[in-house]
Structures are given as structure tokens and as C-alpha cells.
């Protein structure tokens, strides 16, 4: 069967979302979010999306972008996915060729990828020159019957549980906390240059983010902790980020926020909850285990150094059929 690779069109959004759900069952993906990500990508991200077709259907997709929200220059991200039923046809190779060519043409020096922790994906990545850096664990919780901790009878003085929707008039304080927490996440590529303008579009206005299910903890009226919720409208919920400001850590606030968000999600009809943590993030792994999350999958953060970047600014063209 012949595989061809071409640029993404808005009409591909439903098929791309279906591929993502089959390959990454622990992720949140909807046609609306797929189309939105491409349409609203900031110029500095230099996002290109390619799809692979076989037999008249979309069987794979790849995203290629510059890590513009990191102060470390020359970093690019590639995310190829191929429908399990269509592997072995050359789609993964052709998609990655298109993605790498695009980023090399922008002068990127390091390519980051996140293959799943299974032999086929890792072998493919390593043959392309990607080396492993660190492991991320994905966890699942059967939310419908989970024995979540009870709601506290009382909170510490000055502490309140609110939702992100309560900050609709001015979400900037939540951005400040999110930026601090994100910069502290254990990773080999620090995200420390996120702007408020990008955050508004790509977090606050993201179609899959549920502001009513996102719990915010305030102390004395100041946001100190939060748990960001994503949903797909089909019963699946994902913790997109949970964290606490540095000065307030060690007080159980992240667990409080996450528990409250999970309870809100269950009350809203969600039946499955997913979350992820760096394998070395012992505090959050302990919180999730106590909440009842169990191991579900894992991904490796891998990197490939480009020996000779090509600092041109021309867009990558469509690769030939393979």
C-alpha cells in the first residue's frame, strides 16, 4: 500500500484526533483542539503539521515546532504518530523526514521527541539518532468508583477553593503561578520564557481546557496552587498541570487542589482520569498514588543533535510519496 505525506488541512482534524486517541489513549484530543492548535499557533513557534495517507485515509500525523517558550535557543520538537494498524508501511519515516527537514531549515540544533516506552517506538527513535534522556509515567484512575479523600470539613484560615472560571475577568494571577510551576518542572528542556499573550491563547482559551473543573487554591486572596483540567466531552479527564508556588510548597495544597478538581470532574460525569509525571518527581507521584492512580503507560524524552543545522527560513515543502 502506497503512503503519501502532505501538509495538514483543517478538514483532517477529525481523522488526526482519531489517530491520536488510538495511539495515545492517555491523552486528550478532540477535532476542535486539533484545528485550534494549528490555526492559533504563534508565529514564533513555526508549527508545521503533516499527515500521512494510505488507501484514502489519514493513518499518521506529525507536528514539528520550535520550542519558543524556552530561553535555550535552537530547540525543536517533533511528534510523529502512526495508526497501529498501518505501521510498517514507511509512514513514520516519511513523517519524521518532513518534520526534521522543516526544523533543520529553521536552524534548529536539537530535536526533542517523546516516543512511547515500548520496543518498536524506541528502536525507531534510536535508529534515527535520538537518545534517551528521562522517563515520564502516565497514570490512570477509574474515576467513577474512585475512593477519593473526603472534602475537608474546614480549610486553614484564609484558604479558599475556587475555580479558574472565577478569574475570568483577570486570569493573569493564574498565569504567574503557572509560569513559576512550569519553570520548576523536572525536564532537560526548561520552559521558562512563556509570555502572558501566548498563555492566554494556548492555555486559557484552549478548547479542551475546562475552567469550571480547574481548581484554584487561594490564601489571603492570592493564588498559590492549582490543578488544570482538560476534558474531551466523552468522559475522559486529564490533569494538564498541578503545582504550587515555591513559598507555599510542602503544605498539601497541590493534593488539595487535585482532589477537588477530581471531585468536580466526577460530579460532571467524567469516568476516567489521566495524569503524568516525570519518573523522578517523587512528591507528585506519591500524591497520585495516594489518590488511587495506577501506572498505565510511559514515554521517554529523547533528543537528537543536528550536526549541521541549515539556517534558512524557507518553509519545508511536501515530501514525495514513499
Cβ–Cβ contacts within 10 Å for residue 106, how many?
21
Q: What is the DSSP string of 53-104?
A: EETTEEEEEEEEEE-TTSSSTTEEEEEEEE-GGGTTSSHHHHHHHHHHHHHH
Does 105 share its domain with 143?
no
**Residue 120 forms part of a structural domain:** no
Check residue 310 and give its pLDDT: 43
Look at residue 307 in the predicted model and tell me its pLDDT: 75
Q: Which three cell numbers stand for residue 241?
A: 498541570
What one-character DSSP code corresponds to residue 149?
P
Total of domains in the chain: 2
Q: Do 85 and 212 fall within a single domain?
A: no
Using alpha carbons only, how large is the chain's radius of gyration in Å? Answer: 20
- Domain membership flag for residue 29: yes
Global confidence as pTM: 0.91
Q: Are residues 60 and 170 in the same domain?
A: no
pLDDT attached to residue 308: 56
Give the Cα separation of 79 and 95 in Å (integer). Answer: 9
- Tell me how far apart the alpha carbons of residues 129 and 305 are, in angstroms, rounded to a whole number: 8
Q: Are residues 168 and 288 in the same domain?
A: yes
Residue 311 domain flag: no
Could you tell me the CATH number of the domain that includes residue 272?
Answer: 3.40.630.30
Q: Based on the number of CB atoms within 10 Å of its own CB, is 78 exposed (0-12), middle (13-18) or buried (19 or more)?
A: buried
Say whether both 161 and 294 belong to one domain: yes
Give the domain range for residue 226: 139-298
Q: Is 150 in the same domain as 284?
A: yes
Mean pLDDT by 10 residues, the chain (322 residues): 96 98 96 96 96 97 96 96 96 98 97 97 97 97 94 93 98 97 89 94 95 98 98 96 96 96 97 97 95 98 79 39 33
User: What is residue 311's predicted lDDT score, i.e. its pLDDT?
Assistant: 43
Tell me if 124 is assigned to some domain.
no
Amino acid at each position: 500500500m502506497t503512503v503519501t505525506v502532505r501538509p495538514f488541512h483543517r478538514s483532517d482534524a477529525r481523522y488526526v484526533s482519531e489517530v491520536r486517541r488510538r495511539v495515545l489513549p492517555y491523552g486528550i484530543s478532540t477535532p476542535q483542539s486539533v484545528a485550534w492548535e494549528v490555526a492559533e499557533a504563534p508565529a514564533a513557534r513555526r508549527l508545521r503539521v503533516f499527515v500521512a495517507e494510505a488507501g484514502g485515509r489519514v493513518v499518521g500525523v506529525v507536528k514539528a515546532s520550535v520550542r519558543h517558550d524556552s530561553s535555550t535557543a535552537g530547540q525543536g520538537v517533533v511528534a510523529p504518530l502512526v495508526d497501529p494498524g498501518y505501521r510498517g508501511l514507511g509512514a513514520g519515516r516519511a513523517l519524521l523526514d518532513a518534520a526534521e527537514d522543516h526544523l533543520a531549515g529553521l536552524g534548529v540544533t536539537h530535536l526533542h521527541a517523546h516516543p512511547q516506552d515500548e520496543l518498536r517506538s524506541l528502536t525507531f527513535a534510536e535508529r534515527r539518532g535520538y537518545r534517551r534522556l528521562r522517563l515520564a509515567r502516565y497514570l490512570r484512575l477509574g474515576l467513577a468508583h474512585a475512593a477519593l479523600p473526603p472534602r475537608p470539613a474546614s480549610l486553614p484560615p484564609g484558604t479558599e477553593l475556587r475555580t479558574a472560571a472565577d478569574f475570568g475577568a483577570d486570569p493573569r494571577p493564574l498565569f504567574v503561578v503557572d509560569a513559576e510551576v512550569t519553570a520548576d518542572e523536572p525536564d532537560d528542556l526548561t520552559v521558562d520564557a512563556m509570555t502572558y499573550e501566548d498563555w492566554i491563547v494556548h492555555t486559557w482559551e484552549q478548547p479542551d481546557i475546562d475552567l469550571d473543573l480547574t481548581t484554584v487554591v487561594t490564601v489571603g486572596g492570592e493564588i498559590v496552587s492549582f490543578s488544570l483540567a482538560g476534558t474531551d466531552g466523552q468522559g475522559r479527564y486529564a490533569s494538564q498541570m498541578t503545582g504550587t508556588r515555591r513559598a507555599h510548597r510542602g503544605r498539601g495544597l497541590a493534593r488539595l487542589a487535585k482532589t477537588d478538581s477530581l471531585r468536580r470532574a466526577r460530579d460532571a460525569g467524567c469516568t476516567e482520569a489521566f495524569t503524568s509525571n516525570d519518573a523522578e518527581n517523587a512528591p507528585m507521584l506519591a500524591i497520585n498514588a495516594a489518590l488511587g492512580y495506577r501506572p498505565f503507560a510511559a514515554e521517554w524524552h529523547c533528543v537528537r543533535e543536528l550536526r549541521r543545522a541549515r539556517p534558512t527560513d524557507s518553509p519545508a515543502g511536501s515530501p514525495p510519496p514513499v
